[in-house]
Amino acid sequence: MKGKKLIISLVIGLAISGAGLYFSFRNVQFGPLMEYIASINYWWTLPALVMGMGSFFLRAWRWQVIMGSVERISFWEAYHPMMIGFMMNCILPGRVGELARPAILKRQKGVPFFQTLATVAAERAFDLIILLGLFAIVTSYVQIDPNLEVVVDQYTISGQVLQRAATAMTRLSLVLITGIILVSFEFTRGLMERVILASPLALFFLSLNTQEKIRKAVCQPIVAIMNGIAQGFAAIKNFGKVALCLGISVVIWVLLASTYFVMVQGCPGISMSPLELTAMMVIICFAISLPSAPGFWGLWEAGGIFAMVLFGVARDEAAGFTLVNHVIQLMVPIAMGLVSVVMTGVSIRQISSASTELADKDTQTTER
């Protein structure tokens, strides 16, 4: 059954990414595209690779700080599971890498699965906050004609489209932050527990025995998961940790934006300001949030071409840069993740198949 779901997820992701690649490159001539890719000065990729590696070391430090509220782990105990997770996101469907970290720490150190998973969600919340902040900055200082529309095949990008995307992401952030607050603080979590445990009473047409079975089979596991998540979010109660993680997050995203700026220096025919390149990075992040094949192929290219055409770059140059930049950005986590696999001896196949099993066992243990 798990294998069937994995195949279905892979097929859907490949279909979406294939469509993205087709519509992104349909009007790009293959010959000129290859000529442009060959004209790039690839020496500029070296500092971009170093910056990309630095961003992942900072991510490991940030996650170590967040994990400190659940379990004290060393930098390398945070780094290796994190890099294996990022690598798995690049090569496997369904973003299973997000489950790799809690699965690895569960096996290696016995840390409860859902507590670790909550710290991963908290880390993603910091990224989301910075992304929204960057989007607000670039839309404030980069002049985009509100009447301008850039049509790339069946996709249309305009200032209004970008604003709607930012509004959607803002709402998502508010929902995430509200959920974290409700789960993290004892008073609100206590109210939620009482409501969840009492919910079978609403099924008054069932016998008391059946209601009790529902409470044990459904409500109590939900409460157990919620309590585990609450422990994982404990770091947000510490203002010093929140401030440190926000500071680290800012540096991470500045480094990532800098990789785009450095890469452009070796690409003829492309002239974009740092703010425009940052806007491009944010748009790509919005694009790859959709379901896709491993490595975000297709959607990454679509988002990159959208952004570069929006800022006046010719389509051939935009396609060449976006494709090369995507490859460079993927090389870093895949290479670093493979090194972590070798150093830790972790089996990717076993971790990917064991995540659900560990989650179920963790729920049962917490319930007891």
pTM of this prediction exceeds 0.85? no
Tokens standing for residue 176: 């995430």
What is residue 335's predicted lDDT score, i.e. its pLDDT? Answer: 86
**Alpha-carbon span 282 to 289, nearest angstrom:** 11
**Alpha-carbon span 219 to 290, nearest angstrom:** 31
Question: CB–CB of 96/88 below 8 Å?
Answer: yes
- For 177-227, write each residue's pLDDT tens digit: 777 777 777 778 788 888 888 888 887 777 888 888 888 888 777 777 677
Mean pLDDT by 10 residues, the chain (368 residues): 50 50 49 66 88 94 88 90 86 74 83 80 84 78 63 57 68 74 75 84 80 81 71 69 90 93 85 86 78 67 81 81 84 86 73 52 48
Q: Which of 235, 255, 246, 253 is nearest to 65 (CA)?
A: 235
- For 61-75, write each residue's pLDDT tens digit: 999 998 887 788 899
Three-state secondary structure of the chain = CHHHHHHHHHHHHHHHHHHHHHHHHCCCCHHHHHHHHHHCCHHHHHHHHHHHHHHHHHHHHHHHHHHCCCCCCCHHHHHHHHHHHHHHHHHCHHHCHHHHHHHHHHHHHCCCHHHHHHHHHHHHHHHHHHHHHHHHHHHHHCCCCCCCEEEECCEEEEHHHHHHHHHHHHHHHHHHHHHHHHHHCHHHHHHHHHHHHHHHHHCCCCCHHHHHHHHHHHHHHHHHHHHHHHHHHHHHHCHHHHHHHHHHHHHHHHHHHHHHHHHHHCCCCCCCCHHHHHHHHHHHHHHCCCCCCHHHCCHHHHHHHHHHHHCCCCHHHHHHHHHHHHHHHHHHHHHHHHHHHHHHCCCHHHHHHHHHHHHHHHHHHHHC
Q: Which domain holds residue 326?
A: 2-22+29-367
Q: What is the mean pLDDT of the chain?
A: 75
Give the total number of structural domains in the chain.
Answer: 1
Question: CB–CB of 51/212 below 8 Å?
Answer: no
Question: CB–CB of 284/304 below 8 Å?
Answer: yes
Residue 150 bridge partners (DSSP): 157
Tokens standing for residue 107: 């096996």
Tokens standing for residue 263: 């890469």
